[in-house]
Chains A and B, each alone.
Chain A
């Protein structure tokens, strides 16, 4: 294939990257390491909610406040 053709093919590979990212984000994957979670004495999902969930809640609260009262900023 010519270098021009390969350059076009490279965009197809870019599309594959995007498609796999979207697919992985939407797929309901079974967890690989459920045993390890238990071994730590707590479920990672709980901690997940603690660490990141708190952050997400806090920032979405902030956004909602700002959107509701634009003059407070």
Chain B
């Protein structure tokens, strides 16, 4: 018997274009950091534009793009991770609580990194701060990707594909 899947659009076109543009620009910014200032600075401005647009979209956007849809009380992060560890953990159609706070952290860290980069117009004393923030952001990105892989495995779903197609399968017990 064929089970009919209920695949619904979760990530709108902007969220998907935002994400993969951000990934590309982030790689370009890292690759050009010490070598190619004009490209590095363009990548930085582009990431800044992306972050601003994403924040606006987080306020007015489609259902699962809105901050009010996924930013929950911080204590829910611990609860969610604990539940995951013991084999439970609700499956979310949008971002889960841990993912949500990772997204907030990434957006904040990207903003700080860009801010410190802009300050370098003022003199080289900001370079160390800029580099430290860039490294911290890279660390978060690695955690982010690890989180995507682990939660995808535990919930038996391909979250990366969903960020490409925008679609996820709706299940009965979803939050």
Contacts and interface: CB of A to CB of B under 8 A. Distances in A.
Interface in B13-50: 13-15, 17-18, 21, 34-38, 41-42, 45-46, 49-50
Interface in A37-72: 37, 39, 44-45, 47-48, 51-52
Contacts of A9: 60-61
Main secondary structure of the interface of B (DSSP, over half): helix
B35 A14 contact: no
B63 interface: yes
Contacts, number: 88
B170 to A, nearest CB: 15
A21 B61 CA distance: 21
A53 B141 CA distance: 29
A51 B35 contact: yes
Interface size range on B against A:
20 to 34
Most B C-beta atoms less than 10 A away, residue of A17, A31, A44, A47: A17
Contact of A17 (B49, B60, B123, B127): B49
B57 A33 contact: no
A73 interface: no
Nearest to A21: B46
Contacts of A21: 21, 46
Contact of A10 (B61, B117, B127): B61
A56 B164 CA distance: 30
B169 interface: no
Interface of A: 1, 3, 6-7, 9-11, 13-14, 16-17, 20-21, 24-25, 29, 31-33, 35-37, 39, 44-45, 47-48, 51-52
29 contacts: A3-B63, A6-B60, A7-B13, A10-B14, A10-B62, A10-B65, A11-B13, A13-B57, A14-B17, A16-B49, A17-B14, A17-B17, A17-B18, A21-B46, A24-B42, A24-B49, A25-B42, A29-B41, A31-B37, A32-B118, A33-B37, A33-B41, A35-B123, A36-B124, A36-B127, A44-B35, A44-B37, A45-B37, A47-B35
Interface of B: 9, 12-15, 17-18, 21, 34-38, 41-42, 45-46, 49-50, 53, 57, 60-63, 65, 117-118, 120-121, 123-124, 127
